[in-house]
Amino acid sequence: MDTRVIAATNADLKTAVAEGTFREDLFYRLAVVTIRIPPLRERDEDVLLLAKAFLKRFAAQEGREGLLIDERAAHAIREYRWPGNVRELENRVKRAVIMAEGNTIRAADLELTSSEEIQIAAHTLKEAREALEREMVSRSLQKHGGKIAPAAADLGVSRPTLYELIGKLGIKRE
């Protein structure tokens, strides 16, 4: 029998093999031809193009041709880290097409807010500072898979300081 297996993962299998959490023999059976497609968060130039392609498709399906993504929404799309990758982008755009009022998709329709909008929405300087800190800490933790040491280094703070911020800001770790 001649078979072909096509497999996809978001895990780093080489690291998993090195850590002993993935079988080495299975890795070498699967890794004959490897194609690495970087996650959406590493493809800044693609994210807005994909969003517009999804917008065009879903707007046609819903009979809402002519919908446009406004500037703040485009900025929020480029800034967001996309932990759910392309599927998350697709679902957010689909939901926005359904929920948008008028002919413009806003960041709120995508359920995304940029740091700029968070700061504007805050009523006091303390609220704006906390909102920005919460966003930056959350993004850094997300970027580093919830690992404290690299997230702290990324933010330029010590590990104890990061633990303190996580507690103060009420951030849930994955």
Task: Look at residue 24 and tell me if it is in a domain.
Answer: yes
The answer to whether residue 26 scores a pLDDT higher than 60 is yes
Task: Look at residue 48 and tell me if it is in a domain.
Answer: yes
Task: Look at residue 174 and tell me if it is in a domain.
Answer: no
Counting the structural domains of the chain, the total is 3
Task: Look at residue 117 and tell me if it is in a domain.
Answer: no
pLDDT, residue 24, reads 94
pLDDT, residue 120, reads 53
The answer to whether residue 73 scores a pLDDT higher than 60 is yes
Task: Look at residue 116 and tell me if it is in a domain.
Answer: no
Asked if residues 93 and 58 have their Cβ atoms less than 8 Å apart, the reply is yes
pLDDT, residue 85, reads 87
52 and 93 belong to one structural domain: yes
Query: In the chain, pLDDT over 70 holds for what percent of residues?
Result: 93
Q: Which residue has the higher pLDDT, 122 or 73?
A: 73
What's the average model confidence in pLDDT over 32-46? 84
Q: Which residue, of 75, 105, 135, is where some domain finishes?
A: 105
What's the average model confidence in pLDDT over 15-37? 91
11 and 47 belong to one structural domain: no
81 and 99 belong to one structural domain: yes
46 and 15 belong to one structural domain: no
47 and 78 belong to one structural domain: yes
What's the average model confidence in pLDDT over 49-65? 95
Provide the residue range defining the domain that includes 135.
123-169
Q: For all residues of the chain together, what is the average pLDDT?
A: 86
Cα separation, 71 vs 52, in Å, equals 13
pLDDT digits (tens, 9 = 90+) for 139-170: 888 888 889 999 999 889 999 999 999 988 88
Torsion angles phi and psi, residue 172, rounded to 5: -90, 130
Task: Look at residue 150 and tell me if it is in a domain.
Answer: yes
- Three-state SS for the chain is CCCCCCCCCCCCHHHHHHHCCCCHHHHHHHCCCCCCCCCHHHCHHHHHHHHHHHHHHHHHHCCCCCCEECHHHHHHHHHCCCCCHHHHHHHHHHHHHHHCCCCEECCCCCCCCCHHHHHHHCCCHHHHHHHHHHHHHHHHHHHCCCCHHHHHHHHCCCHHHHHHHHHHHCCCCC
Q: Which residue has the higher pLDDT, 123 or 116?
A: 123
pLDDT, residue 6, reads 87
What's the average model confidence in pLDDT over 126-151? 84
Task: Look at residue 113 and tell me if it is in a domain.
Answer: no
**The token pair that represents 73 in the structure block:** 């929404």
100 and 142 belong to one structural domain: no
pLDDT, residue 161, reads 93
